[in-house]
Amino acid sequence: MTPVARNLLIACVVVYLLQMVMGATLELHFALFPPNPYIPTFEPWQLVTYAFLHGSFMHLLFNMFALYMFGPEVERLLGPRRFLTYYIVCVIGAAASQLLALRAVGNPPVPTVGASGGIFGLLLAFGLAFPHRRLMLLFPPIPMPAWLFVTLYGLLELYLGVSGHDSSVAHFAHLGGMVGGFLLILYWRASARAR
């Protein structure tokens, strides 16, 4: 494990343990709530803090497994400082997308939690950096190149988000993490060319 990826993983596990102790109190202040004049629960820091909370042990497990699998490779590629910047931008991009999606359906006071937006950004970076690296799906166990895995996963999230399937999952947050990461990569590339 690389240092930033390891520290993110530890932070998410520690916060989850705090959630087990503190319950809804922690979520009330740090989960991502849509702005709502009748229920004033939105605070600006929630654009980042929601990514350290998780709704269940399995939610945490899958996100931390993906962080463990893809985070170190991307961190070695970008370096610790850029990796952290990239991850936070993906988390904020995911939050912005989720807030826009909730606004489209009338801002229900439903909190969003989970590192998935940042994880999807890492998947995108991994797929762009190592497009021909073979990945093995769990269900079904089919090997495929990283670029195809990331593309299909992104398209699946778009379909699920637009169709409304599994509405308890923040599909647009996942897509927002990818978009935020992609825009930052484009910015970095343009800055490098300008120099």
CA torsion through residues 63, 68, 71, 75, sign:
positive
Please identify which of the residues 54, 97, 171, 174 carries the catalytic annotation. 174
54 is catalytic: no
Distance of CA 146 to the CA centre of its chain: 18
CB 98 within 8 A of CB 171: no
Residue in 190, 54, 167 with CA at minimum distance from that of residue 117: 54
Please identify which of the residues 116, 165, 168, 191 carries the catalytic annotation. 116
In terms of residues, how long is the chain?
Answer: 195
Residue in 27, 141, 13, 127 with CA at minimum distance from that of residue 65: 13
Helix, strand, or coil (residue 159): helix
Inter-CA distances, 187 with 48, 102, 181, 192, 194, Å: 21, 28, 10, 9, 10
Catalytic residues: 116, 174
